[in-house]
Amino acid sequence: VPRIIFSARESGLVEQKSIEASQREHYDAIGSDYEAHYSDRWSLAYRDEFLLAPMFSGVELPGKKVLDAMCGGGQLAAFILDHGAEVWGLDISPVQVAALEKRCPEVKATVGSVFEMPFEDNSFDVVGICNALHHLHPHIDDALREIHRVLKPGGCFGFSEPHCPSLPDMMRKVWYRMDPLFEESEAAVDIGLVKSQVIDLFDFEHEVFCGNVAYIAVLNSMVLRLPLWLKPYYSPFLFKVERFLNRVLPSFLSCAVVCSWRKKG
Ligand SMILES: C[S@@+](CC[C@H](N)C(=O)[O-])C[C@H]1O[C@@H](n2cnc3c(N)ncnc32)[C@H](O)[C@@H]1O
């Protein structure tokens, strides 16, 4: 029987294809629940204030070409449109792309993978990713090289992700193992490691560690199975607590990191 020997690069590609297939299947299946929990009034308000505002602070958006990569239902795309940019959206799940088209008909929406994007080199002024790179573990650096390719020189890459090492991540790992909602390929982003992998490609401009009570119970209400009707009652109070704790908690006690990088050259 002939033995087929794969190089490390080939087996990496095979693994990427299998992550893409399982992510497509997963997000096609949970599409409407995901949309309900992550796009209600309180989740959108959470993203705008705590993730997207710091991600794009100081970034010029009006008139710029912006890609919401791994866009899901296009919550980041909607924020960017409101700031006067021309927006593209890309996601591996046709169900999520349909949700984007419904939310923002003006966005140019495409089904495709962030590992191999259907865009020319140096196409975008800005690329944004909200809470999705952690689904690509352990191939995040391959996606970052592709993002670098489609960004114009000096272009901005903004993203927010659950981060590690942190105490919330230790608790999340136990939860991930017990909860069928999560795929095996998910893992919080070790931002120090990732930066060391792409140090020759990007300048790291700013980084904010954040996310505590409202990140868990408002943004991620679906994970905790909190009913949507309860959110208006507890969210305003948790937003106040979150604002205060974000000022005092160190990175080890924060759930997420928000970063803004610039393509070198
Ligand atoms: C947690 S959701 C985040 C969606 C959205 N960015 C948000 O803020 O809610 C992760 C998204 O990444 C998409 N995704 C996973 N792997 C992908 C890949 N290889 N290329 C493009 N999209 C991918 C999924 O289909 C899903 O819509």
pLDDT tens digits, 169-179: 999 888 877 88
pLDDT (0 to 100) of residue 257: 98
Give yes or no for residue 215 CB within 6 A of ligand 1.
no
Q: How far is the CA of 30 from the centre of ligand 1 (A)?
A: 12
Q: How far is the CA of 4 from the centre of ligand 1 (A)?
A: 32
The average pLDDT across 214-237 equals 95
Residue closest via CA to ligand 1's atom 1 equals: 132
Closest ligand 1 atom number to CA of residue 113: 20
Give yes or no for residue 162 CB within 6 A of ligand 1.
no
Per-residue model confidence as pLDDT tens digits over 14-68: 888 888 888 888 888 877 788 888 899 999 999 999 999 999 999 999 999 999 9
Report the first-to-last Cα separation within the chain, whole angstroms: 50
Give yes or no for residue 146 CB within 6 A of ligand 1.
no
- Nearest CA to 79 out of 53, 43, 97, 109 is that of 53
Question: Quick check: 255 and 162 in contact, CB under 8 A?
Answer: yes
User: pTM for the complete prediction?
Assistant: 0.93
43-48 contacts at long range (C-beta below 8 A, 24 or more positions apart): 43/75, 43/218, 43/219, 43/221, 44/75, 45/235, 45/239, 46/214, 46/215, 46/218, 46/219, 46/235, 46/239, 47/75, 47/76, 47/79, 47/130, 47/219, 48/79
Residue closest via CA to ligand 1's atom 26 equals: 72
Amino acid of residue 68: D
